[in-house]
């Protein structure tokens, strides 16, 4: 079994202050695959000191040189991408093809995208063309604590580390203790790329100890967190005493509105497959399917067939199957929510309680579809984070908008319609950070983030850089003393 018990602090791999071994479990076998350490506040102090001490030098390093280091990192990541995919697959159960083509690929995609944006970003400019005395400088916010989840590990890590370092911040990363192997490998890439000692530090640990210590640390200027809304609220509280900037990317309960004038077969199938992708463990999963009543029965049938045709398989096997859920806790949570759907009277049309046939080990669950859901049921209100689709009928646009917005979340909503003017009209009423029409792909530089309890701030592209920047206004820039 792998032993990766050291932390990456100040450019070196060092043991934790106090040994505290922790097993990383392969969710397909329920067996440990790697031993890491859970750190303490003393380890956080060491990492923050390193990040603080390197800040001035890194922040004053010309942007071109910082970009060169990130380009070197991109080259290393591309060479070692298969190792990254394997680590992700083992730690969180993504089937290997998904791990290669989506999970690991997302990391390199973000690195390349941020390199482009960093090259174009204007860090210094006049307020307006006609204000020669008013000058603005966009400066790094300082030392950043980055706290990430297990579901898209490299997507999240690169969405934070790259813009932060790119604009001149220094960082302490705490990945999810459930899926830390990919981040440990990423730290190896950072080391090989030869970043200045101390600008990137990694500590493993649990949330209540290491995560909380990061939240409270007086020398951390900003927290960028991705994870559950509950933890995000707690972190906002713990970081309040030191008035940190807090950026939050949290849960979702996306509505996928399907109108009768869409291509129903395509739209329903695509929506169900998207909901089940990554075994339903995506914040932007379209987990509530809202269907216009005239095509409702047809949609239920198509979604049910799609679920029944969803292959489930081992993460280390090639193919487009779905893998297990990440952990026993997640397995139990999903079972509980499926049971609640049955108890509250939703109509189970595919899947259900228990492992799929042929599986007696691993956190595998069935692709599940409920019809006749109403928006007050738990399966319509709570983020399930499993391959469970809830189908809700609606009669008109106004009702579709009302149901879509009747949630504490506001991350991504989806609209399927043959009438593009209708889709555009509806999108203006949806209270979410993102709306996707008819299966379109999102541009990598488009801002990613949520309204309401889905978050605060945006990641990706220019918006992702701005998260990590302060703006300084200088008046009298060209004023000469007379
Ligand atoms: P989580 O909130 O349990 O954990 C996220 C991170 O926070 C982990 O590193 C964890 O150790 C840490 N943490 C836990 N308790 C903490 C505390 N008290 N103080 C500080 N840090 C603490 O979330 P998870 O289960 O790892 O991930 C799933 C959640 O992430 C889902 O709700 C999902 O929607 C969300 N998510 C959101 C986005 C987005 O961009 N909006 C993307 C991916 C995942």
* Share above pLDDT 90 across residues of the chain, in percent, rounded to a whole number: 99
What is the CA(209)–ligand 1 centre distance, in A?
14
Q: In terms of C-beta density within 10 A (0-12 exposed, 13-18 middle, 19 or more buried), how is residue 426 classed?
A: buried
> Which atom of ligand 1 is nearest to 283's Cα?
34
Distances (CA, A) of 51 to 149, 219, 234, 275, 337: 22, 9, 24, 39, 42
pLDDT for position 459: 98
Q: What mean pLDDT is predicted for residues 153-173?
A: 98
348-378 pLDDT tens trace: 999 999 999 999 999 999 999 999 999 999 9
160 within 8 A of 146, measured Cβ to Cβ = yes
Provide the pLDDT for residue 481: 78
**In Å, how far are 4, 240, 246 from 76, measured between CA atoms?**
20, 38, 31
Fold identical between 2-250 and 255-444? no
From its phi and psi, is residue 174 left (phi > 0), alpha (psi between -120 and 50) or beta? beta
Task: Please identify, by atom number, the ligand 1 atom nearest to the C-alpha of residue 459.
Answer: 40
Contacts of residues 127-132 at CB distance under 8 Å and 24 or more positions apart, as own/partner, are 127/473, 132/477, 132/478
Nearest CA to ligand 1 atom 22: 207
Distance CA 61, CA 326 (A): 40
Q: What is the mean pLDDT of residues 372-388?
A: 98
For ligand 1, pick from 173, 227, 277 the residue to mutate: most ligand atoms within 8 Å of CB.
227
Residue 65's contacts (CB-CB under 8 Å, 6 or more residues apart) are none
- Name the pLDDT band for 480 (thresholds 50, 70, 90): confident
Q: Which residues are catalytic?
A: 249, 283
Tell which atom from ligand 1 comes closest to the C-alpha of 174. Answer: 9
- Model confidence pLDDT, tens digit, residues 119-149: 999 999 999 999 999 999 999 999 999 999 9
- To test the pocket of ligand 1, the residue of 102, 228, 248 to mutate (highest count of ligand atoms within 8 Å of its CB) is 228
6 CA → ligand 1 middle, Å: 23
Per-residue pLDDT at 245 exceeds 70: yes
Fold classified for 255-444: Aldehyde Dehydrogenase; Chain A, domain 2 (3.40.309)
Query: Read out DSSP for 237-278?
Result: HHTTTTT-EEEEE-----EEEE-TTS-HHHHHHHHHHHHHGG
SS3 284: coil
289 CA to centre of ligand 1 in angstroms: 25
214 within 8 A of 175, measured Cβ to Cβ: no
- Examine the pLDDT at 437 and tell me if it is beyond 70: yes
- The predicted-structure confidence for 208-225, as pLDDT tens digits, reads as follows 999 999 999 999 999 999
Pocket probe mutation, ligand 1, options 103, 147, 231, 451, max atoms within 8 Å of Cβ = 231
Q: Which residues of 346-362 are buried (b: 16+ CB within 10 A; e: fewer)?
A: bebbbbbeebbeebeeb
- 291 Cα–ligand 1 center, Å: 31
If you take atom 39 of ligand 1, which residue's CA is the nearest one?
249
pLDDT of residue 246: 98
Question: Whose CA is closest to 91, among 283, 250, 325, 317?
Answer: 325
Per-residue pLDDT tens digits for 82-100:
999 999 999 999 999 999 9
Give the tens place of pLDDT for each residue, 252-309.
999 999 999 999 999 999 999 999 999 999 999 999 999 999 999 999 999 999 999 9
| pLDDT tens string 111-120 | 999 999 999 9
Q: Is 169 helix (H, G, I), strand (E, B) or coil?
A: coil
Separation CA 433–CA 457 (nearest Å): 10
Ranges of each domain in the chain: 2-250, 255-444
Q: What is the pTM of this model?
A: 0.98
Is 226 in a helix, a strand, or coil?
Answer: strand
Q: Cβ–Cβ contacts within 10 Å for residue 125, how many?
A: 11
Distance 183 CA to ligand 1 centre (A): 15
Closest C-alpha among 154, 210, 147 to residue 184 = 154
Judge contact between 126 and 134, C-beta under 8 A: yes
- Given a contact cutoff of 8 angstroms between Cβ atoms, the answer to whether 331 and 356 are in contact is no
Asked whether the predicted pLDDT for residue 44 surpasses 70, the reply is: yes
Report the chain's mean pLDDT, rounded to a whole number.
Answer: 98
Q: Which residues are near ligand 1 (CB < 6 Å)? A: 147-152, 156, 174, 176-177, 206-208, 211-212, 215, 226-228, 231, 234-235, 249-252, 283, 383, 385, 411, 450, 454-455
Specify the pLDDT at position 482: 66
The residue whose C-alpha atom lies closest to atom 11 belonging to ligand 1 is 207
Q: Under CATH, what is the fold of the domain 2-250?
A: Aldehyde Dehydrogenase; Chain A, domain 1 (3.40.605)
Ligand 1 midpoint to CA 387 (Å): 19
């Amino acid at each position: 079994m792998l032993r990766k018990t050291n932390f990456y602090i100040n450019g070196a791999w060092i043991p934790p202050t106090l040994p505290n071994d922790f097993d990383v479990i392969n969710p397909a076998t329920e067996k440990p695959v790697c031993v890491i350490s859970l750190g303490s506040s003393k380890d956080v102090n060491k990492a923050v000191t390193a990040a603080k001490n390197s800040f001035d030098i890194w922040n004053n390093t010309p942007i071109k040189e910082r970009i060169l280091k990130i380009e070197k990192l991109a080259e290393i990541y591309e060479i070692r991408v298969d190792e990254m995919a394997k680590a992700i697959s083992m730690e969180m159960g993504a089937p290997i093809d998904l791990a290669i083509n989506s999970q690991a690929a997302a990391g390199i995609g973000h690195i390349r995208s941020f390199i482009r944006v960093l090259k174009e970003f204007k860090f210094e400019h006049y307020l307006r063309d006609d204000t020669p005395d008013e000058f603005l400088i966009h400066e790094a916010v300082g030392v950043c604590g980055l706290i990430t989840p297990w579901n898209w590990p490299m997507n999240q890590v690169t969405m934070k580390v790259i813009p932060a370092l790119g604009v001149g911040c220094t960082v302490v990363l705490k990945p999810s203790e459930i899926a830390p192997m990919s981040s440990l490998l990423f730290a190896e890439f950072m080391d090989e790329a030869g970043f200045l000692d101390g600008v990137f530090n990694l500590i493993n640990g649990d949330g209540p100890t290491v995560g909380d210590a990061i939240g409270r640390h007086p020398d951390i200027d900003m927290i960028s967190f991705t994870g559950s809304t509950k933890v995000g609220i707690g972190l906002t509280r713990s970081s309040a005493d030191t008035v940190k900037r807090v950026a939050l990317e949290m849960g979702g309960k996306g509505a996928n509105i399907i109108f009768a004038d869409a291509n129903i077969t395509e739209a329903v199938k695509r929506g169900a497959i998207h909901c089940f992708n990554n075994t339903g463990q995506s914040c932007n999963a379209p987990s509530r399917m809202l269907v216009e009543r005239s095509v409702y029965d047809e949609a239920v049938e198509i979604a049910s067939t799609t679920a029944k045709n969803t292959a489930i398989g081992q993460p280390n096997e090639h193919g487009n199957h779905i893998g297990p859920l990440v952990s026993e806790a997640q397995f139990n949570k999903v079972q509980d929510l499926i049971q609640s759907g049955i108890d509250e009277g939703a109509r189970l049309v595919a899947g259900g309680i228990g492992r799929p046939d042929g599986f007696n080990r691993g956190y595998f669950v069935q692709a599940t579809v409920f019809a006749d859901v109403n928006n007050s049921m738990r399966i319509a209100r709570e983020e399930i984070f499993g391959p469970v689709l809830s189908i809700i009928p609606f009669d008109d646009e106004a009702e579709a908008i009302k149901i879509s917005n009747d949630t504490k979340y506001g991350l991504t909503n989806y609209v399927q319609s043959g009438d593009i003017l209708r889709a555009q009209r509806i999108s203006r009423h949806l209270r979410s950070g993102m709306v996707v029409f008819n299966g379109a792909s999102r541009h990598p530089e488009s801002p990613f983030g949520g309204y309401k309890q889905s978050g605060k701030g945006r990641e990706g592209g220019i918006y992702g850089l701005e998260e990590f920047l302060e703006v300084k206004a200088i008046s009298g820039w060209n004023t000469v003393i007379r």
